[in-house]
């Protein structure tokens, strides 16, 4: 059993849990994830580590209420206990000392933050691009602002805060100015796809942290399969980080869209902002 030490609500549907997990906290690294099962009848759902403290023995994860499981999870309070939390799973993000742009969209910012923090700690020069539909859906802004970043760009679809538009606009400016050596992107599939297309245009490498549907997190179920460079990979054991220029984005987007309505909405918006070009279907 894992006790919830702290619960934070960012918006109507976005929450953060801090849970007691001493053994997990000692091993967690940026880019890895964990699997949560509320009770014996619950399904297992994956969440990426948003933060951890090795000395105090806790880990944090952020989630958005999308289905029945995340709805039940959101009803828990500090002091309640979760039956199973398994992790760390997946491969940690590779930390090269160079000039990075870290892009996070929506709840993907929970993954982007520990990666950006670790890159800063490694001595890299880091620019961060934060994206969300509205100001209310931006998370961890204060935490990003406290990092020693070279640049911090904020974009919102409705212009309620920062620059009106999508993350590819500041990304393209950074690429044009040759201010970055590589990009790390995490968020909705269409956002990552268009970020990869922008990077390809300027021959800038991009790492994409993929978030396909998962069931067991060990590579046994095959639900998280993705096509990378023409080969089948499993995000839970081979990733979640992959070369964004080699991901079959249309295949992944179609698979995700079968389950997630917001993917289809994101596609429509990004198509309009980027003059079309995405074949993703809901």
pLDDT tens, position by position, 147-172 = 999 999 999 999 999 999 999 999 99
For residue 119, give the nearest of 139, 141, 143, 148 by alpha carbon: 148
**What are the CB-based long-range contacts (under 8 Å, 24+) for 68-77?**
69/38, 69/42, 69/43, 69/45, 70/45, 72/38, 72/42, 73/15, 73/17, 73/36, 73/38, 73/45, 74/13, 74/15, 76/4, 76/7, 76/17, 76/38, 77/4, 77/7
In the numeric block, the tokens 């959101």 are attached to: 74
How far is the CA of 203 from the CAs of 46, 197, 218, 249, in angstroms? 32, 10, 33, 18
For residue 88, give the nearest of 116, 112, 52, 140 by alpha carbon: 52
Mind listing the domains of the chain with CATH numbers?
Answer: 2-89 (2.40.30.10), 99-273 (3.40.50.80)
pLDDT band at 259 (very low <50, low <70, confident <90, very high): low
What is the sign of the dihedral through the CA atoms of 113, 119, 123 and 129?
Answer: negative
Q: What percent of the chain is predicted at pLDDT more than 90? A: 74
Mean pLDDT of 207-232: 86
Return d(Cα 234, Cα 90) in angstroms, integer: 10
Q: What is the mean pLDDT of the chain?
A: 89
In the numeric block, the tokens 């890159």 are attached to: 119
pLDDT band at 257 (very low <50, low <70, confident <90, very high): low
Predicted local confidence at residue 258, as pLDDT: 56
Greater pLDDT, 200 or 221: 200
Q: Judging by DSSP bridges, how do beta strands 163-164 and 151-156 pair with one another?
A: parallel
Instruction: Average the pLDDT over each of 47-51, 81-85, 98-102 and give the range with the smallest value.
Output: 47-51
Predicted local confidence at residue 277, as pLDDT: 45
């Amino acid at each position: 059993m894992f006790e919830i030490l702290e619960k934070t609500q960012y918006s109507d549907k976005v929450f953060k849990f801090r849970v007691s997990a001493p053994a997990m906290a000692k091993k967690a690294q940026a880019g890895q994830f964990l699997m949560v099962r509320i009770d014996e009848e619950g399904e297992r759902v994956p969440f990426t580590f948003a933060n951890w403290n090795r000395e105090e023995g806790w880990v944090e994860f952020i989630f958005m209420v999308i289905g029945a499981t995340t709805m039940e999870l959101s009803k828990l309070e500090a002091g309640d206990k979760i039956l199973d939390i398994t992790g760390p799973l997946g491969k940690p993000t590779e930390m090269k000392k160079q000039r990075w742009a870290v892009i996070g969209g929506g709840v993907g910012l929970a993954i982007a933050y520990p990666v950006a923090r670790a890159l800063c700690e490694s001595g890299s020069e880091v620019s961060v691009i934060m994206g969300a539909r509205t100001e209310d859906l931006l998370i961890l802004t204060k935490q990003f602002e406290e990092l020693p970043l070279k640049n911090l760009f904020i974009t919102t679809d409705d212009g309620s805060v920062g620059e009106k538009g999508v993350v590819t606009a500041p990304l393209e400016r950074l690429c044009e100015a040759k201010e970055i050596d590589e990009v790390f992107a995490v968020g909705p599939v269409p956002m990552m796809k268009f970020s990869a297309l922008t990077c390809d245009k300027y021959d800038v490498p991009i790492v994409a942290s993929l978030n396909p549907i998962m069931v067991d997190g060990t590579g046994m179920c095959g639900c998280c399969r993705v096509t990378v460079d023409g080969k089948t990979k499993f995000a839970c054991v081979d990733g979640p980080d992959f070369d964004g220029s080699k991901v079959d984005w249309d295949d992944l987007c179609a698979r995700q869209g079968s389950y997630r309505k917001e993917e289809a909405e994101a596609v429509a918006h990004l198509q309009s902002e980027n003059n079309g070009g995405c074949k993703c279907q809901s």
